């Protein structure tokens, strides 16, 4: 019998749950497919906002997948230093047909050595950190480089997932899902990207992020050093 197309979401505590739930809602509708939610230790994980995602499988128990997706989150650079988690992402990613991420999940792919020499997207506030992993920053909302698909910040995960559906099941099916989910964004406030935001809004956001940027930059730098050492790259 033909094996079903298998998508694995590699999840972790304090991830941004829309990075996961948005794509999951769409990718779980792929025909003749199965969707697996897995974490380092299995069991429950607690996403940002105290949302519990229960009964996750253990990453090390999963032999393979066709599509690997890593969501982002406020702890992404900390997770990039979790050697056990990163090793499982590396193992599954090396055998997957598609290697994917949403938001700062691309930093975890980078830590696993899966973005070296590739163009990749990330949340705009953190995309500069991709250079620590040998990746090139692409400001696109959904970026493809070979078999690697990366989505930008948070809500880009829905665009990313529909792009993947078109790739896997065809454009007609992706269009039908777009209609079925009534995906017709009309945000109440413009400015969801830095080049569209009002100057005072951008300044306020950057000031807020500055409180954690030094820590995240240091974590990304350390994760990049570990990745290069593991890969034998100077």
For the chain, the straight-line distance linking the first and the last C-alpha, in angstroms and rounded, comes to: 45
Give the contacts of 104 (CB within 8 A, at least 6 positions apart).
72, 73, 76, 77, 122, 123, 126
Q: In whole angstroms, what is the distance from residue 212 CA to residue 36 CA?
A: 32
Please indicate whether residue 65 is annotated as part of the active site: no
The catalytic residue among 28, 65, 69, 103 is 103
Burial status of residue 31 (CB atoms within 10 A of its CB: 0-12, 13-18, 19 or more): exposed
| Sheet with 5-10, side-by-side order of all strands | 43-47, 51-58, 33-39, 5-10, 67-70, 98-102, 148-151, 142-145
Give the contacts of 213 (CB within 8 A, at least 6 positions apart).
none
Active site residues: 103
């Amino acid at each position: 019998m033909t094996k079903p197309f298998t998508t694995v979401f590699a999840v972790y505590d304090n991830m941004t749950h829309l990075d996961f739930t948005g794509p999951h809602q769409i990718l779980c509708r792929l025909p003749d497919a199965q969707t697996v939610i897995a974490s380092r230790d299995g069991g429950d994980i607690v996403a940002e906002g105290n949302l519990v995602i229960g009964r996750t499988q253990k990453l090390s128990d999963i032999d393979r997948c066709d599509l690997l997706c890593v969501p982002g989150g406020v702890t992404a650079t900390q997770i990039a230093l979790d050697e056990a988690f990163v090793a499982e992402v590396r193992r599954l990613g090396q055998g997957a047909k598609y290697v994917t991420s949403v938001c700062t999940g691309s930093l975890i792919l980078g830590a696993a050595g899966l973005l070296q020499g590739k163009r990749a997207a990330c949340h705009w506030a953190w995309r500069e950190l991709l250079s620590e992993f040998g990746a090139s920053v692409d400001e696109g909302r959904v970026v493809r480089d070979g078999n690697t698909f990366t989505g930008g910040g948070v809500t880009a995960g829905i665009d990313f997932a529909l792009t993947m559906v078109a790739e896997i099941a065809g454009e007609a099916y992706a269009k039908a899902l777009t209609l079925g989910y009534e995906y017709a964004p009309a945000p109440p406030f413009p400015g969801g990207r830095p080049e569209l935001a009002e100057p005072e809004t951008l300044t306020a956001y950057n000031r807020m992020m500055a409180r954690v940027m030094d820590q995240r930059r240091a974590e990304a730098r350390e994760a990049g050093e570990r990745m290069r050492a593991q890969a034998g790259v100077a």
